[in-house]
Amino acid sequence: MSPATPPTTSAAAQPGTDGAAPASLAGREYEVEVGPVAHGGHCVARTEEGRVLFVRHALPGERVVARVTEGREDSRFLRADAVEILEASKDRVEQPCPFAGPGLCGGCDWQHAAPGAQRRLKASVIAEQLQRLAGLSAADVGWDGTVEPAPGDKVPKGEVPAWRTRVQYAVDEEGRVGLRRHRSHEIQPIDRCLIAAPGVSELGVEKRAWPQTAAVEAVAATGSGDRQVLVTPSPGGRLPLVELDRPVSVMRVEESRARGGERTVHRVHGRPYVRERAADRTWRISAGGFWQVHPKAADLLVEAVMTGLTPHKGDMALDLYCGAGLFAGALAERVGEKGAVLGIEASKRAVEDARHNLADLDRVRVERGTVEKVLPRTGITEADIVVLDPPRSGAGRKTVRQIAALGPRRIAYVACDPAALARDLAYFGEEGYVPHFMRAFDLFPMTHHVECVAILKPAEKGS
């Protein structure tokens, strides 16, 4: 249909005016039929004249008024928010969080969708990315097409699982904590976050003023009572006195980053790490280090990876992008004293944690550096099993080629982005490795993010 309201642009800004930039369409409204979900948490729609809209806060099949938030007359597509629902999907629910919605907090994409619908949307995105980027169907990768909820996360419509054990708050000029708005540096002040785990909520970070502060990160470890806050002062600001509702360790984060891009973190008081519990071991995670955010994620992923790899006693195993050593520890228990495990990790802090966490397992070695640089230097020419858990950008063609050259009988790929997974599966296909089976997990409820575990094996000769 035609625009519901005209754009508010001056004649001097219109395209075609001598030397003028193309006019912004921000604020223009279109009445549209909402199409399928796309990678990134939005749905696709088209205006009557054929413009593509990426619409947030909508669901497939709905009819909405979409207000443009980004885009110009010459843009290939426009970003928009659904600001009025004319015909609602049966999957739509009243969003539980008062800070979710157009122009507000950008953290949750799908508070307006029933929990089961969210998982179906994620499954649609995974299937679309596999087909588009790798030419693979769900059957090709041995996936049943479902996204599995984590234990305890099945909640009725209108309720939200409190799962996020690490929350990064931004702080505005008045010292109020909040969360960033979608694709923006603007801050939405909040007094609570519904998806924050109880251990985070009980600290009371949102109840206090944070003068001279740019950011506050709250951490609640799983399996221990460890609580930690990391405070980043504003430029030229002083660290405020931190008094919260529960005992907590306090770290100060410097704006500048050390070589390698890691944040510089200084202990103010308390332990400089938290203790996480997973896979029958306790893990030290230094301040600012990576650990799965969902409290059930570590155990779920270890179970999926080990089931797929079926390690044997005496195996040579690789844990690439190993972080604090979660998969390396699980592998070491299964390959036994005659086996060996090599972990590779770029983060200095994570390598120190991994070596500490696995110090009792002399069959484990952890090397620091990027996988593509370190792996060739190890002298390893063969491996039996490999697990890789790369960053959101994926492993890439070069690393895939290096892994395949080692001839493993099984590869476990842990992916937090279905597009990166699909691209890398295509690269593995070029190197003679095909998916054996795949599982998907909803470890980020209310958001568009999803975790997948794909198990690969050598293609049968002649196939």
User: Could you write out the DSSP letters of every residue in 42-97?
Assistant: -EEEE-TT--EEEEES--TT-EEEEEEEE-BTT-SSEEEEEEEEEE--TTB---S-
Q: For position 11, what pLDDT does the model report? A: 35
The amino acid occupying position 423 is R
Would the pLDDT of 17 be above 60?
no
Would the pLDDT of 16 be above 80?
no
The amino acid occupying position 454 is A
Query: Which of 43, 108, 193, 416 does the annotation list as catalytic?
Result: 416
Q: For position 152, what pLDDT does the model report? A: 87
Q: For position 100, what pLDDT does the model report? A: 95
Would the pLDDT of 363 be above 70?
yes
Q: Token pair 């110009």 is at which residue?
A: 72
Q: Which residues pair with 87 in a beta bridge?
A: 63
Tell me: the pLDDT tens digits for 451-461? Answer: 999 999 999 87
Q: For position 462, what pLDDT does the model report? A: 58
Q: Running DSSP on this structure, what letter comes out for residue 105?
A: B
Tell me: the pLDDT tens digits for 163-187? Answer: 999 999 999 999 999 999 999 999 9
Percent of the chain whose pLDDT exceeds 90: 90
Q: For position 288, what pLDDT does the model report? A: 83
Give me the chain's average pLDDT, please.
93
The amino acid occupying position 256 is S
The amino acid occupying position 393 is S
Q: What is the mean pLDDT of residues 203-209?
A: 96
Angle in degrees, 0-180, between the axes of helices 418-430 and 397-405, rounded to the nearest 10: 50
Pairing mode of beta strands 78-87, 43-46: unpaired
Separation CA 56–CA 43 (nearest Å): 6
Q: Token pair 């305890």 is at which residue?
A: 152
Would the pLDDT of 13 be above 60?
no
Separation CA 31–CA 72 (nearest Å): 18
The amino acid occupying position 300 is L
Pairing mode of beta strands 385-388, 316-320: parallel
Tell me: the pLDDT tens digits for 297-332? Answer: 999 999 999 999 999 999 999 999 999 999 999 999
Asked if 249 and 225 count as a contact pair (C-beta separation under 8 A), the reply is no
Q: What is the mean pLDDT of residues 15-32?
A: 82
Separation CA 57–CA 70 (nearest Å): 15
Residue-level length of the chain:
463
Tell me: the pLDDT tens digits for 82-107? Answer: 999 999 999 999 999 999 999 999 99
Asked if 452 and 158 count as a contact pair (C-beta separation under 8 A), the reply is no
Asked if 414 and 394 count as a contact pair (C-beta separation under 8 A), the reply is no
Q: Token pair 């397992």 is at which residue?
A: 361
Q: Running DSSP on this structure, what letter comes out for residue 162?
A: -
Q: Running DSSP on this structure, what letter comes out for residue 164?
A: B
Residue 43 annotated as catalytic? no
Tell me: the pLDDT tens digits for 398-411? Answer: 999 999 999 999 99
Separation CA 414–CA 394 (nearest Å): 10
Would the pLDDT of 258 be above 70?
no
Q: What is the mean pLDDT of residues 436-449?
A: 98
Count of CB atoms within 10 A of residue 101's CB?
18
CA–chain centroid gap for 89, Å, is 27
Tokens of residue 42, six digits: 């939005």
pLDDT band for position 260 (50/70/90)? low
